[in-house]
Amino acid sequence: MERVLTQAEMDAMLKKTAGRKEEATRIETRSIVPCMFGQSGLLSSHKAAAINAMHEAFARSLNQSMGAYLRTEFEVKFVSAEQLLYSEFLTRLPEHTYVMCFEVEQMAGSSTLLQMDHSLVFPLLDILLGGTGHCAAITREISEIEEPIIEDIARIICRDLETAWSTLGARLQIEGRKSPTQMQSFLAPTEKTLCLSFEARLAEVNGMLNFVLPISVANTLLRKLSTNTTSKKTPNVGRAHERLEQKMLDCSFPVDLGISGIRLSIETVAKLSPNDVCNLGIPAKEPAALMIAGRKAFEAYAVRHGRNRAAQVERRLTIPGEERGRNPC
């Protein structure tokens, strides 16, 4: 004997089938986005803007410090902040260059590299040795006598960078110059770095200053920078309006009580003399206009208040183009 399904059992089966179809539809419409592991950890626009602002301030400070030390014009401009592999940075280096290593005291074993083009190094040496900074391109390494002189320049740069990072609690200490061989083994070729690039101009010659931050230093810098940015309280718009309103109450505006639109013939005006009464052609009961900063704000009558003249306000005037509900002044 065949079993007959009840209405409740039939409804349950239909509901279960509809749920399976809906789940299958969701699975089919699910979008799959490929994961680009090579782009992980890239600078967000917010972090990039904070990095740029910080190092643009560093460039301005370095302009003043170097100008005072060299007693000549020295211009530095922040160019870019980019994340790249250490091997990519090495491929950009010229054959002869100057590299100084700075240690970040808060992070044991972590250092930052300063790379300076020789197109800047030798003009700097020439100025510090009494020259004008106009010298031919030199394709050799600096000598032992020249090294302490250029190291003083590196100390100034290190000091200004430390000042720019002061809000992050970072302190820098010079470790020493790196040779091309030591540069190859400073970091693993595949390690990510943050490269801060600056363009410098001295005595009509241009060159690049680059800071290379290992990923450990860069992440610490970015993390502290994000913490400092988010910890700053956003201004309270309501309180700002209150402060603005309070300041506005202390401001003074020119106020006039008068009647505009009166027209008299030139003959009437020419015949006026002291003690004459001039008929303006306006009813005596018609109020005048109280004007604030040249704008008609209220209807008012001229009255006396003690020994002073005063204006008795009757009603507010509607100013053409004024938004409803907004004060006229």
Q: Distance (Å, rounded) from C-alpha 119 to C-alpha 97?
A: 9
Indicate yes or no: pTM above 0.75: no
Q: Which helix (H) or strand (E) holds 49?
A: helix 45-70
Amino acid residing at 278:
C
Please list the residues that pair with 186 across neighbouring strands. Answer: none
Could you tell me the residue ranges of all domains in the chain?
42-230, 253-258+284-321
Tokens of 187: 């970091």
- pLDDT < 50 positions in the chain: 37-39, 233-234, 323-329
In this prediction, residue 11 carries a pLDDT of: 73
Answer whether 260's CB lies under 8 Å from 289's CB.
yes
> pLDDT value at position 34?
62
> In terms of Cα–Cα distance, which of 50, 12, 38, 8 is closest to 226?
50
The string of DSSP letters for 220-276 reads: HHHHHHHHHHHHSPPP-HHHHHHHHHHHHHT----EEEE-------HHHHHT--TT-
Specify the pLDDT at position 24: 56
DSSP string, 66-109: HHHHHTS-EEEEEEEEEEEEHHHHHHHS-SSEEEEEEEETTSTT
Q: For the domain 42-230, what is the CATH superfamily, name and number?
A: CheC-like (3.40.1550.10)
pLDDT score, position 66: 93
Q: What is the pLDDT of residues 174-213, one digit of tens each?
A: 888 988 788 888 888 999 999 999 999 987 888 999 999 9
Q: What is the pLDDT of residue 169?
A: 75
